[in-house]
Structure 1
Amino acid sequence: MKGLRITGSILLSFLVITALVACGGKNETIRIAEVTRSIFYAPQYVAIEKGFFEEEGLEVELTTAWGGDKTMTTLLADGADIALVGSETSIYVYAQGSNDPVINFAQLTQTDGTFLIARENLIDFAWDNLEGSTFLGQRKGGMPQMAGEFVLKKHGIDPQNDLNLIQNIDYANIPSAFASGTGDFVQLFEPQASIFEAEGIGYIVASFGEESGHLPYTTFMAKESYLEENAEAVEKFTRALYKAQKWVENNPASETAKLILPYFDDTSVELIESVVDRYKSQGSFATDPILDQEEWDNLQNIMEEAGELPQYVEYSQLVNTSIAEEVMGE
């Protein structure tokens, strides 16, 4: 009888352990809404493809919202847990008096990611070539447009008076509008900029990223309540991201291009490699998840210059670096 009790005890223990292992083997799901699909976000795709999220026990569901306003709406409506979008959107939400503010907790890109595309191949491009031209811009109040206006003013061009500025085209349709003949110049992300150049539709003549300086152009953010209730998952998420940031920094563009190729249909690995190399060379990819005070101040200066800053928001109000700092200190 004693032997049977021992055997039964062992069997019970085995069943309990098996159940625990089975439960523990199921990864926690985090839903990400990205503002657009771009090679600019290469480290995010690397984190997925290299299995860095999986190593942390996370399963990522990635959707593309196609626009900052749509991305933030998705986050606020609980259609996503984390948004990858420009930090200016968190300021807009805060200014509206939200009782659950959106907090920036990990930075992905640290410069503007757009390029100026000319319809003609301007070998000796100068910024005053834009005067009197038709400029196909980005959404009013969005970071691409504000950074673009900041750069134009820096070169003595008044976007409202020196250009025929078009801003009434939906974000997702801007490339096709330019391809169909609208505008002399357009501001585009990669890989669309390089695709247009390869197809002879337009030519890259300048980088807004090089011209506008460091700023929290695209960050991972979440509602304050989500960060509090899912602290461990967010820490794991940030750890996986940091692994990917270091991997992209320390490996050749060709290796990154091979990894992220599945995310860009009809785009050659050679073109992706060229774009990754361009972004790396101008320091667009953040090499760690810290969003610093200087970048935050530069962001608000650009917003104010564009007349889009609803109110100045202290760095400590909408930026949480404690998670990134803890991950980096391990």
Structure 2
Amino acid sequence: MKRWLRVSFSLLVPFILLFSLGACSKKEGLKTVRVAEVTRSVFYTPQYVAIQKGFFKDEGLKIDLKTTAGGDKTMTTLLSDGADIALVGSETSIYVHAQGSDDPVINFAQLTRTDGTFLVSRKKIDNFSWDQLKGSTFLGQRKGGMPQMVGEFVLKKHGIDPHKDLKLIQNIDYANIANAFASGTGDFVQLFEPTASVFEKEGKGYIVASFGKESGNVPYTDYMAKQSYIKEHKDTIEKFVRALYKAEKWVKDHDSKQVAKVVQPFFEDTDIDILASSIERYRNQGSFGTDLVLNEDGWNNLQNIMSEAGELPKRVDYKTLVNTSITKNVINK
């Protein structure tokens, strides 16, 4: 009996080794793509779903994700080759273009199609109206960034001059804005989810309006890369987009609680119900796209918002900084 076991095991050894080597080869065969995200937010739910559900892995990609708080830091990371792909506001590509880059940054996929911030009041307001901001202290975002430009665009839409009708604070670093408001700075603040809902639950503030609903369709957060990277790694970009497209469809087809459970590892300190309600809020206002295509109307609206804020260096033609060929190829297959 023992001799039979020894013989059997000796026969199995080659198969065990073959299986182990095959598994290792498959794992080692994953291509690493370094992605810099401008912030960690439920706003980017499809991205986290693509990672957690293995959609990137299915395409042979391993995502090295790092959070680089703020559009300026994210773009600097991309330009200095600290990342292959950036998830950041499209306005940053326009700023780089204005500086005359030899290797322009190209928007190739749109993740979110509305603003992702909410107006949070320190005090509970039962019947909110925008004119209640007049004379208040407003804790704004970084000058020239999408949250601040959209914020000013919406305020002006409601007849409020952000630089005359209220006290606008813009000297606080992006990563510290929520903490500053929690510490007592400002009567109103713009916050992303899940922070806005967490503040509401803890009684630190109350959500009174959505900047996303007010500003309409805009390429708020897009995936972009240097033109040279897209040219040299077209196959990788296509696989990247395909994984995201699968994730967007998955998010669309599952309820918010199911989605929340999948992305919770990225928000370990956030209650599952808060995550679910945040995802539902973004879903209801159309923040999550379904095709990843950055359309020309959205691009023009972006530049209108930048122009209104006095931050548009020069209007840039849609086809100069937007490449939808790969995305369209993926969704039409």
Q: Normalising TM by the smaller chain, what interval?
A: over 0.9
1:114 is matched with which residue?
A: 117
Q: Secondary structure at 1:289's aligned position in 2?
A: coil
Q: Find the partner of 2:144 among 116, 141, 144.
A: 141
Shift of 1:20: 9.3
Shift of 1:71: 0.3
2:35 is matched with which residue?
A: 32
Deviations 1:142-170 (A, max 9, x none): 00000000000000000000010000000
- Structure 1 gaps of 5+ residues are 1-17
Deviations 1:109-141 (A, max 9, x none): 000000000000010111000000000000000
1:92 is matched with which residue?
A: 95
> Partner amino acid for 1:198?
K
1:264 is matched with which residue?
A: 267
> Partner amino acid for 1:240?
A
Q: Secondary structure at 1:90's aligned position in 2?
A: helix
Residue 80 in structure 1 maps to residue 48 in structure 2: no
Residue 311 in structure 1 maps to residue 325 in structure 2: no
How many Å separate the matches in 1 of 2:244 and 2:236?
Answer: 12
> Partner amino acid for 1:247?
W
Residue 56 in structure 1 maps to residue 63 in structure 2: no
Residue 298 in structure 1 maps to residue 304 in structure 2: no
Instruction: Please list, as runs of the form range in 1=range in 2, the aligned pairs for 1:180-219 lying within 5 A after superposition.
Output: 180-219=183-222
Residue 125 in structure 1 maps to residue 128 in structure 2: yes
Q: Secondary structure at 2:106's aligned position in 1?
A: strand
How many Å separate the matches in 2 of 1:217 and 1:288?
Answer: 15
Residue 224 in structure 1 maps to residue 224 in structure 2: no
Deviations 1:60-112 (A, max 9, x none): 00000010000000000000000000000000000000000000001100000
1:234 is matched with which residue?
A: 237
Shift of 1:19: 8.7
> Partner amino acid for 1:241?
L
How many Å separate the matches in 2 of 1:190 and 1:289?
Answer: 21
Residue 323 in structure 1 maps to residue 319 in structure 2: no
How many Å separate the matches in 1 of 2:23 and 2:208?
Answer: 56
How many Å separate the matches in 1 of 2:301 and 2:22?
Answer: 49
Deviations 1:167-206 (A, max 9, x none): 0000000001001100000011111100100000000000
> Partner amino acid for 1:323?
I
Q: Secondary structure at 2:148's aligned position in 1?
A: helix
Are residues 189 and 23 of structure 1, via their aligned partners in 2, closer, same or farther at CA, if it must alter by over 3 Å? Answer: same
Q: Could you state the TM-score of these two structures normalised by the residue count of structure 2?
A: 0.92
Shift of 1:265: 2.4
How many Å separate the matches in 2 of 1:318 and 1:78?
Answer: 19
Q: Secondary structure at 1:266's aligned position in 2?
A: coil
Are residues 49 and 20 of structure 1, via their aligned partners in 2, closer, same or farther at CA, if it must alter by over 3 Å? Answer: closer
Query: What is the aligned-residue RMSD (CA, Å)?
Result: 1.6
How many Å separate the matches in 2 of 1:203 and 1:107?
Answer: 29
Aligned length: 315
Shift of 1:287: 1.1
1:15 is matched with which residue?
A: none
How many Å separate the matches in 1 of 2:25 and 2:303?
Answer: 46
1:3 is matched with which residue?
A: none
Task: Give me the identity figure in percent.
Answer: 66
How many Å separate the matches in 1 of 2:23 and 2:168?
Answer: 60
1:8 is matched with which residue?
A: none
Runs of 4+ in 1 over 4 A off after TM superposition: 18-25
Q: Find the partner of 1:167 among 144, 165, 170.
A: 170
Q: Secondary structure at 2:81's aligned position in 1?
A: coil
Q: Could you state the TM-score of these two structures normalised by the residue count of structure 1?
A: 0.93
1:153 is matched with which residue?
A: 156
1:47 is matched with which residue?
A: 50
Deviations 1:4-50 (A, max 9, x none): xxxxxxxxxxxxxx999965651000000000000000000000000
2:104 is matched with which residue?
A: 101
